[in-house]
């Protein structure tokens, strides 16, 4: 067999999307604690959409790194190519999920 099946590669995209949601939710919860202090000081509140965008930008930086790795992988290293493409799916699907969450908020 040349490499993992297409079904196996979809697992990475689902994990990437789920992890993006979990990370952004944790990031927002941390912001809510700082918002309580901001209210006490009379400062404007930090928005949750901006926090989700920060997580999405981390994934975009990951995409750039994975694309550089994809260029560096030799053609005969099929398993390494597959891992890099799986990492690309992981990094691409995170912002895809977060865009929907940003729109809902």
The pLDDT tens digits of the residues spanning 42-87 come to: 666 656 667 888 888 999 999 999 999 999 999 898 889 888 888 8
Residues 86, 48 contacting (CB under 8 angstroms): no
Instruction: Classify residue 45 as left (phi > 0), alpha (psi -120 to 50) or beta.
Output: beta
Q: How much of the chain is helix, strand and coil, in % rounded to 5?
A: 85, 0, 15
What's the mean per-residue pLDDT of the chain?
A: 80
Question: How far apart, in whole angstroms, are the C-alpha atoms of residue 18 and residue 41?
Answer: 35
- Global pTM reads 0.71
């Amino acid at each position: 067999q040349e490499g993992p099946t297409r079904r196996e590669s979809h697992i990475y995209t689902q994990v990437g999307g789920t992890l993006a949601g979990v990370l952004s939710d944790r990031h927002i919860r941390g912001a809510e604690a700082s918002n309580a202090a901001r209210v006490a000081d009379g400062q404007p509140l930090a928005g949750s959409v901006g926090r989700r965008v920060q997580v999405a930008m981390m994934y975009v930086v990951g995409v750039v790194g994975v694309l550089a790795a994809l260029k560096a992988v030799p053609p005969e290293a099929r398993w390494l190519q597959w891992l890099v493409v799986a990492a690309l799916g992981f990094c691409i699907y995170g912002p895809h999920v977060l865009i929907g969450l940003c729109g809902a908020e």
